[in-house]
Amino acid sequence: MQKILVTGCCGFIGSNFVRLFMKKNPSIKVRNLDKLTYAGRLENLPDLEKNPDYEFVKGDICDSAIVEKAMDGCDAVINFAAETHVDRSIQDADAFAKTNFFGVKVLCEQAKKQGIEKFVQISTDEVYGQIKSGSFKETDRLNPRNPYSAAKAGGELLAMSYFTTYGLPVVVTRSSNNYGPYQFPEKVMPLFITNLMLGKKVPLYGEGKQIRDWLFVEDNCEAIELCLKKGKAGEIYNIGGEHELQNIDLTKKILKEMNCGEEMIQKVPDRLGHDFRYSLDCDKIKKGLGWKAKTSFETGLKKTADWYKQNEKWWKPLVNQ
């Protein structure tokens, strides 16, 4: 493998991935195709601008001409490019359907034509829907319950159809809630941290009883690299932090890390169709690829909070977007 195309590199997980990947794999060149939407920012990768093994191409994965050119000469593709914020998808699903489904179709079609050796489609635990007890395995039925997760489910099903129909070597990853540096401050972790830094209260949906599993972004990036190099074509891999928290407990941990009291909690009306609990069974990637999350939640939260404290210039222009 000499060169990979990574779409959505200027977003949260993509930027963390390419930074770590290029440190560990100095012999592999990376081409970044990114549309630079509100959450995709060149400011996420300033350290790679002068790296001769890194190339940035501005463009939309829904544009077949741009994708054809960007993919030319690449051996593998990792697709991070997506619209990801559930609340925005509830307000307007159009962009989610286009990017998360049709964009995957464009990428797969070009990957088929160009003989790509590995195509990694980044998905989410939300495609399973909610689960009250137990954990989802990769073979469980999909039951997405909002426009974002439905579009992501459609995208990964389409990618898998290219494996079954055309033999495109597709691998799908489904990860739980990522957190860490460079996450746009609309998601709960950076939203709460930056609100508290500004002296503002944190908006908690309802009673905060919903449960999420938390995965430090660098652990997810290492799992994705393993799936790129060792993942079996046609397979799906769950990637979870195995640290489940009710949203109210997450909020209290953030408040404690930021030296704030519970009077800074502001309860707001619950999200429409709010899923109660997500949970992943990660035995497959543990046993098959030898991966497990390394970062404890306490360590990851401190790293994340410290990063936002030290990088106000990065997030302050974004808080009202």
Enumerate the active-site residues.
125-126, 148
- SS3 of 6, please? strand
Tally the C-alpha atoms within 13 A of residue 284's C-alpha that lie toward its C-beta: 21
The alpha carbon of 253 is separated from its chain's Cα centroid by a whole number of angstroms, namely 22
- SS3 of 237, please? strand
State how far the Cα of 127 lies from the Cα of 129, in Å rounded to an integer: 6
The alpha carbon of 107 is separated from its chain's Cα centroid by a whole number of angstroms, namely 18
Q: Which of 28, 30, 33 is nearest to 10 (CA)?
A: 33
List alpha helices for the chain, DSSP H.
Answer: 12-24, 64-71, 86-91, 94-97, 103-114, 147-166, 188-197, 217-230, 247-257, 283-289, 297-310, 312-315
Q: Which of 244, 252, 247, 251 is nearest to 215 (CA)?
A: 244
β-bridge pairing 54-58 and 29-34: parallel
The alpha carbon of 301 is separated from its chain's Cα centroid by a whole number of angstroms, namely 17
